[in-house]
Amino acid sequence: MVARSVLVTGAAGGIGKATVAHLRSTGVQVLDVDLHSASICCDLTDPKARMALLETVRSKVDCLDGVIAAAGVLSGEPATVVAANFFGATRLLEGLRPLLA
């Protein structure tokens, strides 16, 4: 049986951290992503960092079975909140689409 691969953003805390632990306990290969304290560190508000993340993911897996976009900013500068919560998720998912097909 081939292990499933799932990418989880926001993996260093809260729902993301709990999701990573659960998935790993069931044998899923998890690519855990967060700003700090993750296997793959990335600032999802930064377009260049997102592009580098996509390259890193492509170098690690040929396909993804799922993405859990749990990263998010709850407060702060409105531009940062939008950059993280909207662009961080949508642009990343657009870039990962070929690996999810």
Q: Is residue 99 a contact partner of residue 31, using CB atoms and an 8 Å limit? A: no
Q: In this predicted model, what pLDDT tens digit does every residue of 28-80 receive, in sequence order?
A: 999 999 999 999 999 999 999 999 999 999 999 999 999 999 999 988 899 99
Q: Please, what are the domains in the chain?
A: 5-100 (3.40.50.720)
Q: In this predicted model, what pLDDT tens digit does every residue of 15-29 receive, in sequence order?
A: 999 999 999 999 999
Which band of pLDDT confidence, cut at 50, 70 and 90, is reported for residue 1? low
Which pTM was predicted? 0.93
User: What pLDDT does residue 101 have?
Assistant: 79
Sheet bearing 29-34, strands edge to edge = 40-41, 29-34, 5-9, 66-69
Query: CA-CA distance, 53 to 47, in Å (whole number)?
Result: 10
Which two three-digit tokens encode residue 31?
A: 């690519």
